[in-house]
Amino acid sequence: MTTADLTLTKEHAANLFRRKRLIGFSIPAVIAVYFIYIFFAFDLPGLAQRASLEKAVTLFSDSWSHKVHVTRNNRTGEIDYAVEGERKGRYPEGERPDWVTGDEIITIDLGADHIVRYLPNNRTEVEIPGFPMIEVQAEGRSLTTNLPADLPDWISASKRRIGITTPEGRITLTGARTEVFNYFPGWELFWFTLDSPYHGHGVTEILFGEQLDPSRSNVAGAVTDWWNNKMWRHRDVAWAIGETILMAFLGTMGAAMLALPLAFVAAKRFSPIMVVRAATRRVFDFVRGVDALIWTVVLARAFGPGPLTGALAILITDTGTFGKIFSEALENVDQKQIEGVTSTGAKPLQRYRFGVIPQVVPVLLAQILYFLESNTRSATIIGAITGGGIGLMLTQAIQTQKDWEEVAYYIVLVIAMVMFMDWFSGWLRAKLIGRKD
């Protein structure tokens, strides 16, 4: 190698390095500039103001706790005890939580010396440590109190409404009603609602204890009452999860069955006519490009909301995806095996069955099972749009903006469902085509 050559190569190498360095620095720079643009395009400064920390706190505390309402109707003087203030969670006549005592004067012990007393004639006393006793008299639609003008920030008071928030519980008073919310950790009534004879009994008591309901055996009765729990709706939830999985299953398998013959038409090896091939491919591209969202919208017009619509939306979209993948797999099959089958005098259909299918089945199965798992997740989202399955229950629970413990329950179930399908499809794949490295 001459010196001239060497300098030339050196210069060449230096150029290469310079270019690489330029690329190495410019890519992060471009990304940084893009993020700055996004920062303003998505209005992040404005978002910081709009986001409400209070809502986030409610969301998180409600998702793992529940509250029991003690409500006095100031017109009739009646007192109601209900979990989450819902009719389904109301204590039966004559029963009440054990932190409420007294007949004439109802004493509610919120814990840590926070005490609320419902006195006759719509009077209320609130005792909070480190604060003078609060007395409130409800008359018609207005309230008279002994509250000072200068209030701490955990009390809000007007002539019509007083709200007191303490770490132990919340108290709201209006002319019409006086309400105390006592917070507890855990998901109350998850197993049995208050009207079930099994509420408040442990597992061992139900399994081995004496018969609690004379008309039913313990286990059968407990299972029925749990299954039909009105608060948590275990039966509906189970159906919803079944529907979601069903959508994914029907959609994926239906798509695979439709796509397989079409893939033969689209593969160069098996379909000699160019026009037919190209047309099939464009069909695949089209149904894939239209996307599940639009298919869902269009199909919901024809079939109405429900799991079938979701299944068909998945089916149509994935027919395109599978068609593309399958036809690529078919292009790559080994010709020798087909020739071998042909040499035995096999007809075209038999050639496909014994020469081609065994070669592509592992690839196809792996793809189908992968999509089954991924479609379970899509089915949750499609269900939220088209109205079926766990996705719908989840969006409905979120839209009420108060049943966060139910939202938390559904989220746990959805994650468990997806992880189960992930595990199941992996297990099935290992069973059917063997573990591959």
The answer to whether 71 and 118 have CB atoms below 8 angstroms apart is no
Please tell me whether residue 309 binds other proteins under the rule CB under 8 A: yes
The answer to whether 306 and 386 have CB atoms below 8 angstroms apart is yes
Please identify which residue in 23, 202, 301, 349 interacts with other proteins, judged by CB under 8 A: 301
Please tell me whether residue 428 binds other proteins under the rule CB under 8 A: no
Nearest CB to other proteins, comparing residues 46 and 92: 46
Nearest Cα to Cα of residue 277 among 262, 297, 293, 257: 262
Secondary structure in 3-state letters for the chain: CCHHHHHHHHHHHHHHHHHHHHHHHHHHHHHHHHHHHHHHHCCHHHHHHHCCHHHHHHHHHHHHEEEEEEEEECCCCCEEEEECCCHHHECCCCCCCCCEECCCCEEEEEECCEEEEEECCCEEEEEECCEEEEEEEEECCEEEECCCCCCCCCEEECCCEEEEEECCEEEEEECCEEEEEEEEECCCCCCCCCCCCCCCCCHHHHHHCCCCCCCCCHHHHHHHHHHCCCCCCHHHHHHHHHHHHHHHHHHHHHHHHHHHHHHHHHCCCCCCCHHHHHHHHHHHHHHHHHHHHHHHHHHHHHHCCCHHHHHHHHHHHHHHHHHHHHHHHHHCCCHHHHHHHHHCCCCHHHHHHHHHHHHHHHHHHHHHHHHHHHHHHHHHHHHHHHCCHHHHHHHHHHHHCCCHHHHHHHHHHHHHHHHHHHHHHHHHHHHHHCCCC
Please tell me whether residue 394 binds other proteins under the rule CB under 8 A: yes
Site residues (CB under 8 A) for other proteins, limited to 278-297:
285, 288-294, 297
Please identify which residue in 147, 258, 365, 381 interacts with other proteins, judged by CB under 8 A: 381
Please tell me whether residue 339 binds other proteins under the rule CB under 8 A: no
Please identify which residue in 38, 220, 238, 430 interacts with other proteins, judged by CB under 8 A: 38
Please identify which residue in 384, 403, 406, 429 interacts with other proteins, judged by CB under 8 A: 384
Please identify which residue in 128, 138, 263, 311 interacts with other proteins, judged by CB under 8 A: 311
Please tell me whether residue 247 binds other proteins under the rule CB under 8 A: yes
Q: What angle do CA 325, 273, 263 make, to 5 degrees?
A: 20
Please tell me whether residue 254 binds other proteins under the rule CB under 8 A: yes
Please tell me whether residue 320 binds other proteins under the rule CB under 8 A: no
The answer to whether 93 and 101 have CB atoms below 8 angstroms apart is no
Nearest CB to other proteins, comparing residues 221 and 391: 391
Please tell me whether residue 412 binds other proteins under the rule CB under 8 A: no
Nearest CB to other proteins, comparing residues 162 and 341: 341
Please, what is the minimum distance in Å from the beta carbon of residue 395 to other proteins? 6
Please, what is the minimum distance in Å from the beta carbon of residue 288 to other proteins? 7
Strand partners, 106: 118
Please identify which residue in 82, 366, 398, 433 interacts with other proteins, judged by CB under 8 A: 398
Nearest Cα to Cα of residue 136 among 80, 74, 68: 74
Q: Which stretch binds other proteins (CB under 8 A): 33-41, 88-96, 150-158, 186-194?
A: 33-41
Please, what is the minimum distance in Å from the beta carbon of residue 385 to other proteins? 6
Nearest CB to other proteins, comparing residues 118 and 371: 371
Site residues (CB under 8 A) for other proteins, limited to 181-240:
none
Nearest CB to other proteins, comparing residues 8 and 32: 32
Please tell me whether residue 59 binds other proteins under the rule CB under 8 A: yes
Q: Which residue has the tokens 């037919």?
A: 276
Please, what is the minimum distance in Å from the beta carbon of residue 212 to other proteins? 35
Please tell me whether residue 304 binds other proteins under the rule CB under 8 A: yes
Please tell me whether residue 357 binds other proteins under the rule CB under 8 A: no
Please tell me whether residue 362 binds other proteins under the rule CB under 8 A: no
Please tell me whether residue 266 binds other proteins under the rule CB under 8 A: no
Number of residues that bind other proteins (CB under 8 A): 62
Nearest CB to other proteins, comparing residues 88 and 324: 324
d(CA 391, CA 380): 4
Please tell me whether residue 366 binds other proteins under the rule CB under 8 A: no
Please, what is the minimum distance in Å from the beta carbon of residue 183 to other proteins? 20
Q: Binding residues for other proteins, per CB under 8 A?
A: 31, 34-35, 38, 41-44, 47, 50-52, 55-56, 59, 243, 246-247, 249-250, 253-254, 285, 288-294, 297-299, 301-309, 311, 377, 380-381, 384-385, 387-388, 391, 394-395, 398, 401, 407, 411, 414-415, 418-419, 422
